[in-house]
Amino acid sequence: MIYPTKIEKIDNDKLKFTWSDGYENIFTFKFLRDNCPCATCSAEREESPLVKLPVSGQYEIKDITLVGNYAIQITWGDGHNTGIYSFDYLRELKEE
């Protein structure tokens, strides 16, 4: 199983993941939040392609918690914390 060996904050708006095989990827906070895998956010993306106004704190990361040995949970500045970002999901995610 490939897993992150290091997760670090860069420039106060990005997370850099270094993986056990040496691969690295960087995501903006906005991209991670806009791609939150929780059921609510997934349904909102499918139902409404309209642009939504940002909520205060929506793109700020307050905390990152390890979930077992397979994922992380991000607590956002607006209190949202139901997204479980599996390592497989993060590894495959691409920010264009």
The CATH code of the domain that includes 74 is 3.30.2020.30
- Full domain range(s) for residue 37: 4-92
Query: What is the pTM (predicted TM-score) of this model?
Result: 0.89
**Per-residue pLDDT at 63:** 97
Local confidence pLDDT in tens for the 96 residues of the chain: 899 999 999 999 999 999 999 999 999 999 999 999 999 999 888 887 666 666 788 999 999 999 999 999 999 999 999 999 999 999 999 998
Q: At 92, is the secondary structure helix, strand, or coil?
A: helix
Residues 6+ apart with CB under 8 A from 29: 13, 14, 15, 59, 60, 61
Specify whether the CB–CB gap between 54 and 29 falls below 8 A: no
Question: How many structural domains compose the chain?
Answer: 1
Cα(69)–Cα(83) distance, integer angstroms: 16
pLDDT of residue 73: 99
What pLDDT does 1 receive? 87
Q: How far is CA 59 from CA 3, 13, 76, in A?
A: 24, 8, 7
Q: Which two tokens stand for residue 25?
A: 């990827």
Instruction: Identify the pLDDT of residue 15.
Output: 98
